[in-house]
Amino acid sequence: MAHSTQLNDSEINAQAARHEETADNVNNELDNLKREVEATLAASGSAATRALSSVTNDWVEAVRKTVLDNMRAMAASMRKEAGAQVDADSDNTQSILNVPMDTADFLR
């Protein structure tokens, strides 16, 4: 069975949607982590717990700025390139269709 590395726009857009879904899931888990740490801080106001809360908040925001922003940017780029691929295919098809029929006379 032959395999192809070519993807169509539907497959690319589906992959972009999976990137966004994964980013949303990670974001939800980060929110859950922050809630757990806040609950721990509410139960214990020790210096260690306050430090944990501060480090967690910094880490969560860093993950959001790097990982999640990059995943969403990648999804947007994938969608943009899928659209460009469709446009290029359409333009190339139109160029072929615009070739004058007289040029095919050499085949006779």
Is there a domain that residue 40 lies in?
Answer: yes
Query: Would you say residue 97 has pLDDT above 90?
Result: no
Is pLDDT of 106 > 70? no
User: What integer pLDDT is reported at residue 5 of this predicted model?
Assistant: 56
Angle 27-13-88 from CA coordinates, rounded to 5°? 140
pLDDT in tens, 38-95: 999 999 989 999 999 999 999 999 999 999 999 999 999 999 988 888 777 777 777 7
- Residue 22 inside a domain? The answer is no
Is 11 a residue whose pLDDT tops 70?
Answer: yes
In a domain, 80, yes or no: no
> Can you say how many angstroms the Cα of residue 38 is from the centroid of all Cα atoms in its chain?
30
Total of domains in the chain: 1
Task: Give the domain range for residue 67.
Answer: 30-73
Is pTM beyond 0.75? Reply is: no
